[in-house]
Amino acid sequence: MLQDLDQLAARIGQLVQRTRQLHAERDALRARVNDFEAEQRTLKQRAAEREAEITELQAKLRDHDGAVSAMLEQAQQVESSLREQLAREISERQSLEARYAARESELQGSLQSRDTELQRLRVAAASARERIDAVLARLPGAPSGEQH
């Protein structure tokens, strides 16, 4: 029986030792759980910060998209205005060219008419000189070498 009691005492000692070991493991596990919870809180905080940054960046992107859209619309309006102005300038230039061509043609005609008139006047002047010379040659006192 003593032997049974010794075995029982040894068995109780083993149980106490095993209980202490389990308590130590439990405490170690609790410490690890606490560490994991702290790490989880840190990660959640980081995730929240990143989410806030993403939200801020999305807001900025929307603002920039709006600004880009406004600038694109403005650029399109300026382009349209410039195209209209260019069309007006081209039309005006073509109109001026047509007027200048018509004026040049008119002046060329006038010049040609004047050249013809000048030529006719030269012929008339030469003819008049010949007649005047002929009349002068027939006048009394005219040099005799000039008479025909």
Q: How far is residue 54 from each of residues 50, 85, 127, measured CA to CA in Å? A: 6, 45, 105
Single-letter code of the amino acid located at 92: E
DSSP code for 144? G
Residue 35 confidence (pLDDT): 95
Residue 145 confidence (pLDDT): 55
Model pLDDT for residues 129-148, shown as the tens digit of each residue = 999 999 888 888 867 654 44
Contact 125, 133 (CB under 8 A): no
Q: How far is residue 144 from each of residues 25, 95, 127, 131, measured CA to CA in Å? A: 163, 68, 22, 17
Residue 67 reports pLDDT greater than 60: yes
Q: Given pLDDT bands bounded at 50, 70 and 90, which one contains residue 15?
A: very high
Model pLDDT for residues 45-58, shown as the tens digit of each residue = 999 999 999 999 99
Both tokens of 82, joined, read 């410039």
